[in-house]
Amino acid sequence: MESDSPRVDFRSMSEQELFAQIRDFIHEFAARPSDEMSSQTRLLKDLGIAGDDAGKLFEAFAEKFAADIESFASIDFRAQFGDEGAGCLPIPFFCAAILSVGLQDGLAIPKIWSLVLSLIVMAVAVAAILRLMRERGYFAEKQAPIFVGDLVNAARAGRWVSKEEADRWMAP
């Protein structure tokens, strides 16, 4: 889908102008407070952009800032932003509550032992889910974090810029 509006030349903008454009883009796309962003703001840890939302943000970023979408293939999105799926975490709590009620109704055991058994089941289930989430990369940022400033570099270059390349740009 092509826009009728003229393309903006992001490469000729000052650093402050380009940062403001990207900050506003993130604010509009991800509903994150723009006044708290800096070039050192981390997408995952500080803004909470994770999972599929990160992928969608980068697709929209490439479109808006005319960046080569293929160059973003070097980012390991799963390692950087994790998988979707933390929604399964409440399941053990529901199971423990059902078990507690079932034990109280079905067995002639004191209420406290029913509660203790339910808490043990819940703890084991939570530990199993957290382990699975860790193995699947949900607790991400196994690589160097991606900062808002990295998006400024990508918009300026028209493609994803590696940390090493960005460091060479900054070297005297």
∠ CA 13-15-21, rounded to 5°: 70
Domain ranges across the chain: 10-82+140-170, 86-135
Give per-residue pLDDT as tens, 100-124.
666 556 666 677 777 777 778 777 7
Residue pair 102/46 in contact by the 8 Å Cβ criterion: no
pTM (predicted TM-score): 0.64
What distance in Å separates the CA atoms of residue 71 and residue 11, rounded to the nearest whole number?
Answer: 17
- The CATH H-level superfamily of 10-82+140-170 is ACP-like (1.10.1200.10)
- For the segment 38-68, what is each residue's pLDDT rounded down to a tens digit? 999 998 888 888 878 888 999 999 999 988 8
